[in-house]
Amino acid sequence: MRTSLAFWSILRKDMKNYYLKPPNISWGIIFPISWTLMFFMRSATPVDLRDILPGVMALSVLFGTTSMLAVTITFERRSRSFERLLLAPISLNMLMLAKTTGAIVFGIVNAFIPVIFAFFLTDLSGINWFFTIIGVFLIAVTSTFLGLFIAVSANEVFEAQTFSNFFRFPMMFLCGLFMPMEKLPVFVRPFSYILPLTYGVDILKFSITNTGNFKIWISLIVLLGYSVSLFLVSMYNIRKKWIY
């Protein structure tokens, strides 16, 4: 009972204090939408909104979750309020899950903002919503734990945002968000296969456009593996750098 109360109290605090911070609005919401509009305006040929919807959704999740963690974790570490949270009647693992759950929710909400716009502009019939939701959830979890890994390594919010871009911008071009991986140079293509977002986008392509490069179960296993690994590495770094 005390653990669940502490968990929801931490989650509610983060949702209230950090969701509408300027970095989250600019990087988590405005940037993905602006980048997509630029893609439309600069395209020389008509663009099928349904074809780019998986990329837009994945981009929204990626920027939303990593921006959220850059603000919450880094800001509380700098203000030393994180130390006070360690006094809560909750384990460190559960504490960090409470801190990251808000970012996961933020990323999932971000993912469906483009879907709402697309609903009024194109036909969305035939979409496999079951795998779409699973894909969005796994992208949100993986991206959140990537953001946690980044936030643990930074001291200031701007450092965390800059460090995040080191991962985010390559993913925009290497993970098949808007350009098929088959069209990438051969020497670049192997990097696509080691990035977790590649497999998240593939799940969304499978569920939305009935295309994809991998078996659905392969993408699911890879994303689950990345999620667990990133969380464990982040927890190790927190114990090593912040506590002991």
Q: What is the pLDDT of residue 118?
A: 77
Q: What is the pLDDT of residues 39-54, one digit of tens each?
A: 555 555 556 777 888 8
Q: What is the pLDDT of residue 226?
A: 92
Q: What is the pLDDT of residue 46?
A: 58
Q: Could you give the CA distance from residue 174 to residue 191 in angstroms, rounded to a whole number?
A: 7
Q: What is the pLDDT of residue 224?
A: 94
What are the domain boundaries of the chain?
Answer: 2-36+48-243
Tell me which residues of the chain have a pLDDT lower than 50: none
DSSP letter at 241?
A: I
Q: What is the pLDDT of residue 218?
A: 92
Q: Could you give the CA distance from residue 148 to residue 231 in angstroms, rounded to a whole number?
A: 8
Residues 6+ apart with CB under 8 A from 144: 65, 66, 68, 69, 100, 103, 104, 107
Q: What is the pLDDT of residues 185-209, one digit of tens each?
A: 888 888 888 889 999 999 999 998 8
pTM score of the predicted model: 0.86
CB neighbour class for 217 (10 Å; exposed up to 12, middle 13-18, buried from 19): exposed
